[in-house]
């Protein structure tokens, strides 16, 4: 029986409360209030004017929009009222120390998909909850340099036609939608299960000429459809909002790729490990999907720095495994369709 509301879900997660669980619940509650504030601001209809303006560049050189900064301020402020020791954000070069005695560290992408703000396409907020480890060497980023398997929970809000929260606290991936009538988040699905197989991929195909051969070959084979080695037609989607692409995959399966490519600064792709790839990988695995950097499981990568980028492939588990084979099976590279039927390597 699905819990009817987010509150009921959080209460059942608490069970016999311990310090970490209580802290996770208190933090999720603060996050939902902050996200609701952002949603209300967006709904005032200022898109394309105040919020689509640009400010400068963030620590990673990305253009910051006013809404990026506004969202960062709102979430940082909310975390001052949560049991959070450290707040790390895409928009801030260094983590902020909030309360050294608190048990949690939060890494956040306050506004994901910001290139979509002025086009009125869904955007979101992604967060990762980690145990604060202290900083014996004085490095405030230390808590964030843990592998994603250590996450206590992860989620994202999506500011779309509905304000939804996709959340995992380590046991399934749950979807809640804000009911403005009830004034609370209501559980929309008990737990998502991503189908193992798919005929839908998401990639920014404009980068085709920059990709490594393994990625090109994989996409070529999908595009050949029923006449090619896959012997089935594929569909393509690319929203350019990670949260929206991920939400779709949680609803109906599919595979998402943002690989590294040959463009300057893109050797490790575009997405950030600590506050984009890790929380998304956690949600996807908790929904029976898989997430890799094309070869290695994302959640096992030890981050070396807070803002590091990582190639990302996630979604339907069998398709993710197939993409790994394009990268690890050298005989696959460079051979074209007629040979596939003889070798049979990539048959489902
Ligand atoms: O514009 P591109 O290269 O297709 O990249 C789109 C990707 O970049 C992102 O917008 C990066 O996130 P930010 O908007 O938080 O920088 C993802 O949401 C999206 O998947
Ligand atoms: Mg982002
Ligand atoms: Mg962002």
In the chain, the largest separation of any two C-alpha atoms, in whole Å, equals 62
Q: Kindly report, residue by residue over 245-304, the tens digit of the pLDDT.
A: 999 999 999 999 999 999 999 999 999 999 999 999 999 999 999 999 999 999 999 999
Ligand nearest to the CA of 276: 2
For the chain, where do the domains classified as CATH 3.30.540.10 start and end? 6-189
Fold held by 6-189? Fructose-1,6-Bisphosphatase; Chain A, domain 1 (3.30.540)
Who lines ligand 1 at CB under 6 A? 62, 90, 109, 112-115, 204, 240-242, 270
| pLDDT recorded at residue 224 | 97
| pLDDT recorded at residue 52 | 53
pLDDT at 342 over 60: no
Rounded mean pLDDT of 12-25?
91
N residues, the chain? 348
Fold held by 200-343? D-Maltodextrin-Binding Protein; domain 2 (3.40.190)
Residue 114 annotated as lining a ligand binding site? yes
Of all protein residues, the one whose alpha carbon is nearest to atom 20 of ligand 1 is 242
Q: Kindly report, residue by residue over 110-150, the tens digit of the pLDDT.
A: 999 988 888 889 999 999 999 999 765 667 889 999 999 99
Best of 72, 241, 314 for a ligand 1 pocket test (most atoms within 8 Å of beta carbon): 241
Q: Are strands 163-168 and 153-159 parallel, antiparallel or unpaired?
A: antiparallel
Sign of the torsion angle spanned by Cα atoms 325, 331, 335, 337? negative
Q: How far is the CA of 61 from the centre of ligand 1 (A)?
A: 13
Rounded mean pLDDT of 313-325?
98
User: Taking Cα atoms as reference points, which of 136, 76, 70, 62 lies closest to residue 106?
Assistant: 76
ipTM for the assembly: 0.97
* Pairwise CA distance, residues 3 & 293, whole Å: 34
Give the position, in ligand 1's atom list, of the atom nearest the Cα of 90.
15
Q: How far is the CA of 106 from the centre of ligand 1 (A)?
A: 21
Residue 220 annotated as lining a ligand binding site? no
For the chain, where do the domains classified as CATH 3.40.190.80 start and end? 200-343
Residue 111 annotated as lining a ligand binding site? yes
Choose the weakest-confidence range: 51-65, 122-136, 309-323, 331-345: 331-345
Of all protein residues, the one whose alpha carbon is nearest to atom 2 of ligand 1 is 240
* Pairwise CA distance, residues 272 & 305, whole Å: 10
Q: Kindly report, residue by residue over 146-184, the tens digit of the pLDDT.
A: 999 999 999 999 999 999 999 999 999 999 999 999 999
Contacts of 254 (CB under 8 A, 6+ apart): 198, 200, 201, 202, 237, 248, 315, 316
Residue 60 annotated as lining a ligand binding site? no
* Pairwise CA distance, residues 177 & 163, whole Å: 6
Give the position, in ligand 1's atom list, of the atom nearest the Cα of 207.
3
* Pairwise CA distance, residues 282 & 151, whole Å: 8
| pLDDT recorded at residue 142 | 92
Q: How far is the CA of 305 from the centre of ligand 2 (A)?
A: 17
Q: How far is the CA of 345 from the centre of ligand 2 (A)?
A: 35
Q: Kindly report, residue by residue over 218-239, the tens digit of the pLDDT.
A: 999 999 999 999 999 999 999 9
Ligand nearest to the CA of 111: 3
């Amino acid at each position: 029986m699905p819990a009817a509301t987010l509150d009921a879900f959080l209460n059942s997660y608490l069970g016999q409360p311990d310090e970490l669980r209580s802290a996770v619940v208190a933090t999720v509650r603060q996050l939902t209030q902050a996200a609701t504030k952002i949603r209300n601001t967006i709904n005032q209809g200022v898109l394309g004017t105040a919020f689509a303006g640009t400010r400068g560049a963030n620590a990673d050189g990305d253009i910051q929009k006013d809404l990026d900064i506004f969202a960062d301020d709102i979430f940082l402020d909310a975390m001052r009222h949560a049991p959070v020791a450290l707040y790390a954000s895409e928009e801030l070069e260094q983590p902020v120390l909030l309360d050294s005695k608190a048990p949690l560290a939060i890494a956040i992408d306050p506004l994901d998909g910001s290139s979509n703000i002025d086009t009125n396409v869904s955007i979101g907020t992604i967060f990762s909850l980690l145990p604060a480890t202290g900083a014996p060497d004085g490095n405030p980023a230390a808590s964030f340099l843990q592998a994603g398997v250590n996450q206590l929970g992860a989620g994202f809000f999506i500011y779309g036609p509905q304000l939804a929260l996709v959340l995992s606290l380590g046991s399934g991936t749950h979807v809640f939608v804000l009911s403005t009538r009830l004034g609370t988040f209501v559980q929309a699905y008990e737990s998502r299960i991503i189908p193992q197989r798919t005929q839908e991929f998401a990639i920014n195909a404009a980068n085709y000429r920059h990709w490594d051969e393994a990625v090109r070959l994989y996409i070529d084979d999908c595009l050949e459809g029923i006449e090619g080695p896959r012997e089935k037609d594929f569909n393509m989607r690319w929203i350019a909002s990670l949260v929206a692409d991920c939400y779709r995959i949680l609803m109906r399966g599919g595979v998402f790729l943002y690989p590294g490519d040959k463009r300057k600064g893109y050797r490790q792709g575009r997405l950030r490990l600590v506050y984009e790839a890790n929380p998304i990988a956690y949600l996807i695995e908790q929904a029976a999907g898989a997430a890799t950097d094309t070869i290695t499981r994302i959640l096992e990568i030890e981050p070396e720095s807070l803002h590091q980028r990582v190639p990302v492939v996630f979604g339907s588990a069998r398709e993710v495994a197939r993409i790994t084979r394009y990268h690890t099976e050298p005989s696959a590279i460079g051979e074209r369709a007629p040979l596939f039927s003889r070798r049979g390597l990539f048959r489902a």
